[in-house]
Amino acid sequence: MVEIIPAILTASPVEAKELLLKLEGVCDRAQIDIIDGVFAEGKTIDPAALSDLDTILELDFHLMTKEPVDWVERAVRGGADRIIGQIEQMTNQAAFIGKIAEAGVSVGLAVDIDTPVSQIEPEILTSLDVVLVMSVKAGRGGQEFDVRAIDKVKELTKIRKNDATPFRICVDGGETVTTVDDTHFAGADEIAIGRRLFEGDIGKNLKKFQEAAHKLNPIK
C-alpha cells in the first residue's frame, strides 16, 4: 500500500509545530523540508528548532542543503526517525550514510529532477532505507509534476529486485490526484505531498489522495 506523507516547508518553527500537531491522529509520518539558502534560495527552519516538540509522529527530515552530513546532528536533535539527503552538493555519500547509521536512525538519499539515478553510488543502494525522487526542482513548493520522475521510479524498481533488503521509493513534489496513481503503479511506495494536503481539511485531503493512489489504473 502506498503511503502518503505530508511534507512541511516553512521558515517558522511555530507554524511547523502547529502543522505537525494537526497531523497527529491523521497519519503516522510527516516530512520536514530543510533548505539552507545555499542549495536553493530561501531558508526554512533549523531541524533543531523542533527539539522540544512532543509528537507521536515519525519524522523525516529532507535535507536540501550543502553537505547534508553537517546537518545530521541537528536533525537528530529535532527528533528525526529518518534523514534523507540530496546528493547534488554531497561530497561523500558513504560518510553521510555512516553518520546517520551511528545515530541509529533510518537513512535515505534523494535525487533532484535533473539528476540521474546513476549518480547514487551503486554499492550504497543496499544500505539505504529509502530513495527519494524529486518530481519537481528541489527547494520550493507549488510546482507542477514532472513526468521524468516516473521513469526514475521504474529504473529504481528494477534495481531493487536484486536487493535482499530492498529500499523504499518515495516521490516528492507536484503530485495531484491525477498523477498520484501513475506514480504508485510505477513502483513508488511513498508519496510526499506539501501544500495541497494542507489546503482545507487535512484528513479529507489525505483520504482523497490515498483513494487516488489505489485506483487500479494501468500506467498509460
* Secondary element (H or E) of residue 130: strand 130-134
CATH of the domain at 31: 3.20.20.70
Put simply, whether the predicted model's pTM sits higher than 0.75 gets the answer yes
In a domain, 8, yes or no: yes
In a domain, 197, yes or no: yes
In a domain, 218, yes or no: no
Task: Give the C-alpha separation, 170 to 134, whole Å.
Answer: 8
| Digit-coded pLDDT (tens) for 34-73 | 999 999 988 999 999 999 999 999 999 999 999 999 999 9
In a domain, 220, yes or no: no
| Digit-coded pLDDT (tens) for 145-169 | 999 999 999 999 999 988 777 899 9
Residue 82: which domain range? 3-213
Count CA atoms within 13 Å of residue 46 on its CB side. 9
| Digit-coded pLDDT (tens) for 98-138 | 999 999 999 999 999 999 999 999 989 889 999 999 999 98
**Number of domains comprising the chain:** 1
End-to-end CA distance of the chain: 20
Question: Long-range CB contacts (< 8 A, 24+ apart) of 115-122?
Answer: 115/87, 115/88, 116/152, 117/152, 117/155, 117/156, 117/159, 119/87, 120/87, 120/93, 121/93, 121/94
- What are 146's three cell numbers? 514532472
Exposure string for 102-132, b = 16+ CB within 10 A, e = fewer = eeebbbbbbbbbebebeebeeebbebbbbbb
